[in-house]
């Protein structure tokens, strides 16, 4: 009877830590996915809006097909549409052709998404890009 409170305290404080360690060691926990694109570092010129940047180069098959996709993403943003601009630029520097980039208003490149040239895969890419962009706009006070 004297040791009952000690066992209760041990159960309350030690048992959760031991269970958490067991879950992590056994690989039963899978971390959530934060973004669908590839996180990158780089800078472009600053602006007042978030930007979807499409670098274009000669012979880029996916680049021409991506412009309607980006316009549809811009329309799908609804009331946040005025916070995002779709920009076409020549490829070079930090911007490679065959990718779509997200840049914040101060000019920091955030993520990039690889274009495949396949319509079905690019639709999936568009859904992923739209989800990430909505999340960025939701938590951002800039732009």
pLDDT tens-digit series, residues 98-109: 889 999 999 899
pLDDT attached to residue 122? 86
pLDDT attached to residue 143? 60
- 25 φ, ψ (degrees, to nearest 5): -65, -35
Cβ atoms < 10 Å from Cβ of 122: 21
Q: Retrieve residue 110's tokens.
A: 């955030």
Asked whether the beta carbons of 55 and 99 are under 8 A apart, the reply is yes
The pTM assigned to this predicted structure is 0.74
Closest to 60 in 3D by CA, of 100, 108, 20: 100
**Rounded CA separation 78/65 (Å):** 22
pLDDT attached to residue 134? 92
């Amino acid at each position: 009877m004297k040791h009952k409170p000690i066992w209760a305290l041990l159960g309350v404080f030690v048992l959760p830590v031991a269970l958490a360690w067991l879950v992590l060691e056994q690989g039963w926990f899978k971390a959530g996915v934060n973004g669908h694109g590839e996180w990158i570092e780089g800078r472009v010129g600053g602006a007042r809006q978030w930007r979807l940047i499409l670098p274009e180069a000669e012979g880029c098959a996916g680049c021409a097909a991506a412009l309607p996709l980006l316009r549809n993403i811009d329309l799908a943003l609804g009331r946040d549409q005025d916070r995002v601009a779709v920009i076409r630029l020549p490829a070079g520097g930090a911007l490679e052709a065959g990718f779509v980039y997200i840049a914040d208003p101060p000019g920091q490149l955030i993520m990039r998404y690889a274009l495949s040239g396949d319509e079905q895969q690019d639709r999936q890419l568009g859904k992923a890009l739209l989800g990430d962009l909505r999340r960025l706009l939701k938590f951002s006070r800039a732009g």
